[in-house]
Chains A and B, each alone.
Chain A
Amino acid sequence: EAGVVQSPRYKIIEKKQPVAFWCNPISGHNTLYWYLQNLGQGPELLIRYENEEAVDDSQLPKDRFSAERLKGVDSTLKIQPAELGDSAVYLCATSDNGDTGELFFGEGSRLTVL
């Protein structure tokens, strides 16, 4: 069974440019999370989806970040415009329909803003 797929793995952009990250969940996993991880820190939740509904986006900086999960499968996280402080690893994670809470992470997208 394929795991969580993310792309791109690496992205280098100049500040003020836009960037987008894509995530394809494990088949059948209805809950999808976007996390941000800075070096030496644990992942920080940006947004959680249940199917296509964003049920927790309280930590998403909505002035520059946006996310969508059309049809409740793939998801895209966008930053526009990017700032130097956005340099981090953006992790997508999914969980199954059960209530275990276990998260399965993709390989992450490492963003460098110059």
Chain B
Amino acid sequence: QKEVEQNSGPLSVPEGAIASLNCTYSDRGSQSFFWYRQYSGKSPELIMSIYSNGDKEDGRFTAQLNKASQYVSLLIRDSQPSDSATYLCAPRNGGFKTIFGAGTRLFVKA
């Protein structure tokens, strides 16, 4: 079992739709959870962080965390073509080690 599992995609959604990205993790000691966006040929950039169970909203992005299910998700509302990228799920454990998933490729069709 991989430490962080994501559907590799590509996930294709029409412009204006909601994109839903999912992630499961194996380390129950994970305490902080991050979503990074990576455009092709570029380095990852942080878009969301979440530290407690529930939802966290920031603009068009909502992160959801369920530690009991070891599940974290990212919703992107009103998806835009500029959202087309790979989204990396990255839990961080109590030892301050951040593990990255392989990422989900999102394609937003104009």
Taking beta carbons and an 8 Å cutoff, which residues of A are in contact with B? 31, 33, 35, 40-45, 48, 56, 91, 100-108
Contacts and interface: CB of A to CB of B under 8 A. Distances in A.
A81 to B, nearest CB: 27
A40 B101 CA distance: 10
Given A42-B88, A42-B100, A43-B100, A101 B43 contact: no
Contacts of B103: 41-42
Nearest to A104: B46
B60 interface: no
A79 B53 CA distance: 42
A21 to B, nearest CB: 13
Contacts, number: 52
Contacts of A106: 43
A91 B102 CA distance: 15
Contacts of A108: 43
Contacts of B32: 100-101
B4 A103 contact: no
B45 interface: yes
B34 interface: yes
Interface string B32-56: 1010100000111110010000000
B94 to A, nearest CB: 11
B88 A100 contact: no
A5 B108 CA distance: 31
Contacts of B95: 56
Given A42-B4, A42-B88, A91-B43, A103 B98 contact: yes
B51 to A, nearest CB: 9
Contacts of B36: 103
Given A33-B98, A41-B103, A56-B95, 8 more contacts: A31-B96, A43-B100, A45-B98, A48-B96, A91-B43, A101-B49, A101-B98, A103-B44
